[in-house]
Amino acid sequence: MDQLRIGLYVFLDLTWFQHPFPFSHFKIKTEEQIRTIRGLGLKSVRYDPTQSDPPQSASAKSSPQPVQETSDVIAKGLAAKRALIERIKVQREAAARIENAFINTAKTVREIDKNIFSHPAETVSNAKQLVKQISDSILCAQELAIHVMGDKMGGEELYFHSLNVTMLSLMMARDLGLPQPAVGVLGIGALFHDIGHKEIPSRILLKTEPLTPAERHLFEMHCQYGVELGKRLEFTPPILSIIHDHHEFFDGTGYPQKLKGEAIGLLARIVAIANHYDELCNPPNIADALTPHEALSTMFAKLRSKFDPKLLQVFIRCLGVYPPGTILQLSNGVIGMVATVNTAKPMKPMVVIYDASIPKDEAILIDLERETDLNIAKAIRPAQVPNEIYNYLSPRKRVSYYFDAAQPGQEKPAP
């Protein structure tokens, strides 16, 4: 204990609830931390030389402090930790509420998909009502939090793609300040952008190997088929344009007409970005899936010419460089997963922390906006993470997002 000094990276062999620090291992930065460690009743602590600063040639010993003062510091720290535990409890309750809302929304999308031709007028009306509810919630919020969903989704996976594309498109509409009528058109166009898939055989839609040229040609017909089905549903021309053009690329390499630049409508350009991102994250063959961070990086670094550059910047700004579902390493070496991104502060997400001493269901949630000493060091591919950490964090094999809106006067949304 008398060898403790500022710059040592130490490990406290205590459970998370037995000490006042945010983490059980960290680099000592202040004399107060040294006094607090000495007051914990440990006979010794482990340290990591590789993560520690080299000793100073004349390192000063920390000054003694009355036992009572040290006890007060520890008591205050533990009280702060109890407050954090209460915040985490509230966040978990909010997470359950949001997850239920997501599942219910997916069920609504399923009913819309099932009844669209048997009860077209009623179903289109329900779809418009759903889009209005989502867009009102997103557009009226002071702050918007994007959440990655858990695995207990109740068998609604078939409907996640259209829901994801709708959510992500409306997120961009909020940032762009689009007027309400355009947002309504965008929401319906995004929700039904793949309605033409109903005319494509399942063997092609679900094929995990590359499509043959003939299969590719038939698949690409879903844009035209979608327009024909949309006309039967009496969709307006702006909605039909989204359905027809959501695979057009800004550089003219898309389909079905190889439109270029602003010849593609604004709303279709928005849906094209949300659609391509979700396809990278959730391809037919899950082995080909990119992590959210990789998908954004690929779109920006390798595919940038294919998207409207201003809209792509908006998309990345909203999701953050580290979107929900990204596994990452923090500046203190701790591994975690981004659970929630606040679109106003995308570089300060809420992170689920891996700590083997804490049960998975009680995992620590760290808000990087509060933990000012911490930042993100790097993103990590799931394959590079040991199995026990991967299983603890449980990033979804398929990534789905949902939004939570904070109303005026409420606290920041919690995951």
Q: Which residues of the chain have pLDDT under 50?
A: 57-60, 406-415
Angle at which helices 222-232 and 237-245 pack, to 10 degrees? 160
Do residues 226 and 244 touch, judged by C-beta distance below 8 A? yes
Q: Is the pTM higher than 0.85?
A: no
**Four-residue CA torsion sign, 54, 60, 66, 72:** negative
Q: Rounded CA gap, 226 and 244, in Å?
A: 7
Nearest to 407 by CA among 97, 136, 91: 136
In the 8-state DSSP scheme, what is residue 255? S
Residues 6+ apart with CB under 8 A from 193: 162, 165, 226, 242, 243, 246, 271, 275
* Integer CA distances (angstroms), 176 to 94, 172, 266, 269, in order: 28, 6, 11, 13
Q: Rounded CA gap, 41 and 147, in Å?
A: 40
The CATH homologous superfamily of the domain defined by 81-406: Hypothetical protein af1432 (1.10.3210.10)
- Strands 143-148 vs 327-330: parallel, antiparallel or unpaired: unpaired
70 φ, ψ (degrees, to nearest 5): -65, -40
Give the 3-state secondary structure of residue 124: helix
pLDDT value at residue 340: 86
The residue behind tokens 């949300």 is 274
pLDDT value at residue 156: 52
Residues 6+ apart with CB under 8 A from 179: none
In what order do the strands lie in the sheet containing 46-47? 25-27, 9-11, 46-47
Do residues 186 and 136 touch, judged by C-beta distance below 8 A? no
Residues 6+ apart with CB under 8 A from 384: none
Residues 6+ apart with CB under 8 A from 48: 9, 11, 25
Do residues 23 and 334 touch, judged by C-beta distance below 8 A? yes
Two tokens, residue 386 = 């040991």
Nearest to 8 by CA among 41, 34, 32: 34
Domain span(s) for CATH 1.10.3210.10 in the chain: 81-406
User: 141 in the Ramachandran plot: left (φ > 0), alpha (ψ -120 to 50) or beta?
Assistant: beta
Q: Rounded CA gap, 23 and 339, in Å?
A: 18
Q: Rounded CA gap, 142 and 321, in Å?
A: 22
Q: What is the dihedral of CA 288, 292, 296, 302, to 10 degrees?
A: -20
